[in-house]
Structure 1
Amino acid sequence: MKIKNIKKYVYEFLSVFFAVTFAFLLDSWNQNKNQRLTEKTILTEIYNGLERDSIDLHNDELTMQYNLKAVDYFRKIVNNVEVDNDSLATYYFYLTRDAVTIQNTSGYETLKSVGLEIIENDSLRKAIIDLYEVRYKLYQKFTEEYDENKYMRNYFEKINRSIAPNFNYDPRGNIIGINQPINLEEEEKKLVLSYLWRLQVNRLDREGAIKGNKVKIGEIRALIKEHIQ
């Protein structure tokens, strides 16, 4: 009778034990499944956002190329090298044009609200944090907050004062050309050339930052694509 009772108790204990264990494992499995689904959803949002960022950076790079061409164009004018009048208005527009950064951070903000640890892959998680918390913030500060990169405020009036008096306009007030040579005094010429040099150096720095961010975005998108497939 005692052996029979012991078997009964053991059977009941094992039944309860396996039922609890199975329920726990099922709950853990469901939680893990939900986490992986959440992770995939957030990473997909980040992946798509980075694609838009890449397009914006490409457009920034094209603008930077126009900025640099504008510097070369006006350097020729200062040095009394004849230029094409048809390009004057375009390059005048781009010469001291300020820049605004556009970064799509909605996916990353969602990730932070859920918890960064939702991303299993340590390398991927660190790369995403580095991009948004370091590279993007430094790029924005460099572009919008660094005083020397406020081109319109720092350089427009100084350059304009020497060059704009030589512009020609049509009856509607549109710029149509420039009288050449402008024959600046040597001191004034050197000052304008120094401003153009600073514009060129600053634009080249930003162009380098753009290219670096484009490479980093490409690497992270490749990691995300591999991880969620």
Structure 2
Amino acid sequence: MIKFFRNIRKTLINQGKTANYLKYAIGEIILVVFGILIALQVNNWNQLREDKKFEITMLQEIKSSLESDLEFSEMINRRLKVKEEGIQELLKMTASNQKYSDSILLEVYNKMNTGVSFNINKGSYEAIKSVGIDKISNDSLRKMLIQTYEVRFPMVEQVMGNIFEDIDIKDYKLKLHNALWKRIRIQLPNKSFKLVSRPINNENFLSQTELVDRIKIEQDFVSAYSFWMSHFQGIVQYCLGAVNQELNND
């Protein structure tokens, strides 16, 4: 193609057609500029397409993380429900005059004492932030994600951590536990040994103030944890709805 244009220019110059040559030269310049603009536009289209593809991938990763958070929160709620059931069973037992075996007392006590832990899946957001959160083109969605992961989630984590890691409460719980239970060494049929818990005072176990205090601590824990879990789920569901809406628009 370049050789073709060169031959045209050479012919016009040899024929002395200067005016025609100038017109041709200008036309060639315009053609070249037009070609460059088309190439740039095609490149821009390709870049925009790649950016959009990357953005969709990022939002899908965020969606997956949020769905994981919801599933995890439901698991926590199930464990909180078990704790609440244990609390209610113990309270009913304290209100009755019935005597219970050591194994039943331990079973219900352990049910009340079911452990919970809290964790937020922020891996996808941190990965996206490292490559550029500005890749998310929707301004309101981008700002909401930043607000959620940089402000709201850390606040919930801090509150949950304070509820769970209160040193004074943990020490007091251990003190109450040790006042209620003793460790007994037993020998199993296979001749091995095992430490098991038994009430220090089975007869008065359900009327001991240490048990009442222990129940109250777990009751307060379930109440506070349930409230903040509901708050956390609300944040996640709102954020997930916004992400799904953006993905559906693409």
Q: Could you state the TM-score of these two structures normalised by the residue count of structure 1?
A: 0.76
SS at match of 1:100: coil
Instruction: Mark the CA change 1:122 to 1:204 in structure 2 (over 3 Å): closer, same or farther.
Output: farther
**Which consecutive unaligned segments of at least 5 residues does structure 1 have?**
none
User: Where do residues 46-195 of structure 1 align in structure 2 (5 Å cutoff)?
Assistant: 46-76=62-92, 88-96=105-113, 98-145=115-162, 149=166, 153-164=170-181, 179-182=202-205, 184=207, 189=209, 193-194=212-213
State the alpha-carbon separation in 1 of the partners of residues 131 and 115 from structure 2.
36
Q: CA deviation at 1:101?
A: 2.2
Aligned position for 1:14: 30
**Which consecutive unaligned segments of at least 5 residues does structure 2 have?**
1-16, 189-194
**Deviations, residues 36-84 of structure 1 (Å, cap 9, x unaligned):** 1111112112211222211111011111222233334444556666587
Aligned position for 2:222: 203
Corresponding letter in the other structure for 1:69: E
Instruction: Mark the CA change 1:153 to 1:70 in structure 2 (over 3 Å): closer, same or farther.
Output: same
Aligned position for 1:30: 46
Corresponding letter in the other structure for 1:132: Y
Note the aligned Cα RMSD (angstroms): 3.5
Corresponding letter in the other structure for 1:138: M
Q: Identity of counterpart residues, as a percentage? A: 19
State the alpha-carbon separation in 2 of the partners of residues 57 and 15 from structure 1.
63
Which structure would you say has the larger RCO, counting Cα contacts within 8 Å and 6 or more residues apart?
1
**Deviations, residues 150-179 of structure 1 (Å, cap 9, x unaligned):** 6972343232244336x9999866568883
State the alpha-carbon separation in 2 of the partners of residues 179 and 168 from structure 1.
14
Corresponding letter in the other structure for 1:67: K
Q: CA deviation at 1:214?
A: 1.7
State the alpha-carbon separation in 2 of the partners of residues 155 and 95 from structure 1.
16
Whether the aligned pair in 1 keeps the contact of 2:173 and 2:214 (CA below 8 Å) is no
Q: Could you state the TM-score of these two structures normalised by the residue count of structure 2?
A: 0.71
Corresponding letter in the other structure for 1:56: F
State the alpha-carbon separation in 1 of the partners of residues 93 and 86 from structure 2.
11
State the alpha-carbon separation in 2 of the partners of residues 214 and 129 from structure 1.
17
Q: Give the length in aligned residue pairs.
A: 224
State the alpha-carbon separation in 1 of the partners of residues 178 and 94 from structure 2.
13
Whether the aligned pair in 2 keeps the contact of 1:71 and 1:200 (CA below 8 Å) is yes
State the alpha-carbon separation in 2 of the partners of residues 65 and 151 from structure 1.
25
Corresponding letter in the other structure for 1:179: N
Corresponding letter in the other structure for 1:211: S
**Deviations, residues 177-201 of structure 1 (Å, cap 9, x unaligned):** 88355475xxx73x76455434323
Match of 1:215 among 234, 239, 246: 234
